Amino acid sequence: MIERFIQKSTSFEWPEDTSAEVGKLLREGLPRAAARRMTRLGLLCTKVLREMPASPDVALVYATGMGEAQTLEKFLASFPDPSPTAFQASIHPAGAQQALIALQRPVREFYPLAGGEDLLARALRTCCSVAADEVILLAGEERGGWLREAGLASDRSFAFALHLSTKPDNAEATLHFHESTSGSEKRVSVADGFDRIAARQRCEIPSPPAGAWELNWL
């Protein structure tokens, strides 16, 4: 049976009604010039990664459906004089990269994933496929503007991180893969996963075409 132990979890949602204050808070302690240019998703990734192990030998799996939606909108709006800053920061996986650069954390294995309703399931499989014994799953979305209205970007800004290990000591939760599901085929999106992890709720994540991931808190 495929099994991993979650040593630590962190999560944070950016409340829309307090945008300026949250941005100021999340920029604290970061190099000023870099922090000014960071995207909302980059700041969120930095926030949840801070408490995670910092070693090049800990693998990182990053999952985001649309990534820097606001920056992508800014880059498109900059035509006919395209903005180099917006171009750089709109490229997947800029959110995680900004965080790792701000925290000065080089990493050997780094798998940036995109996807839709099965993204979380694919990310968990990737976490259990890496060569390293320790892996961090970093996931998040950035609330879009017109992209959100068109149904192409998230309506929330949030991020979470899980530290998964092959070692059971001091684990907060367990992750198992089952060949069969308990019957529910309802997909669990990255946003759904965020809600379950923030609330420390049990979660079954179908992984089509077969099997499911089960997250249980200890």
Partner 1 sequence: MSIRPQHDPTRAGLEATSCLTALGDETATWRALCENRSGLKPVPVDGQAGSEVVPLALRSEMQCALPQRWREDLQALAKGANGFAPWGEKGFPVIFTSSNFSIESLYAHNVLDLDESHLPWGSIPRCVDLLRREFGWGPDVQILSHACVSAALGLRLGARLLQSDFAEKVLVFSFDYLSPFVTSGFHSLKILNPDFPHPYQDRETGSIGLGDGAGFAVLTKEPAPLVVSRQTCWNEMFHLTGNEPEGSGFHFLARELAEGLRGRRAWIRGHGTGTLEAGRLECDSWAAALPEAPLVAWKGGIGHTLGSCGVVELALAAVSLRNGKAPGTVGSGPPFFTDQVAADPVDLNTFDAAVLTANAFGGAHAGLLLAHD
Interacting residues toward partner 1 by CB under 8 A = 65-66, 72, 75-77, 79-80, 82-84, 87-89, 91-94, 97-98, 100-101, 104-119, 122, 125-126, 128-131, 146-147, 150, 152, 208-210
Quote the least distance from Cβ 208 to partner 1, whole Å: 4
Across 173-194, b (16+ Cβ under 10 Å) vs e yields: bbbebeeebeeeeebbbbbebb
Of 21 and 57, nearer to partner 1 (C-beta) is: 57
Quote the least distance from Cβ 14 to partner 1, whole Å: 21
Of 30 and 94, nearer to partner 1 (C-beta) is: 94
Say if residues 12 and 159 touch (Cβ distance below 8 Å). Answer: yes
Q: In whole angstroms, what is the distance from residue 79 CA to residue 108 CA? A: 36
Quote the least distance from Cβ 72 to partner 1, whole Å: 7
Q: Which residue has the tokens 């075409």?
A: 209
Q: What is the DSSP letter of 91?
A: S
Q: In whole angstroms, what is the distance from residue 118 CA to residue 126 CA? A: 12
Say if residues 194 and 215 touch (Cβ distance below 8 Å). Answer: no
Of 66 and 173, nearer to partner 1 (C-beta) is: 66
Quote the least distance from Cβ 17 to partner 1, whole Å: 27
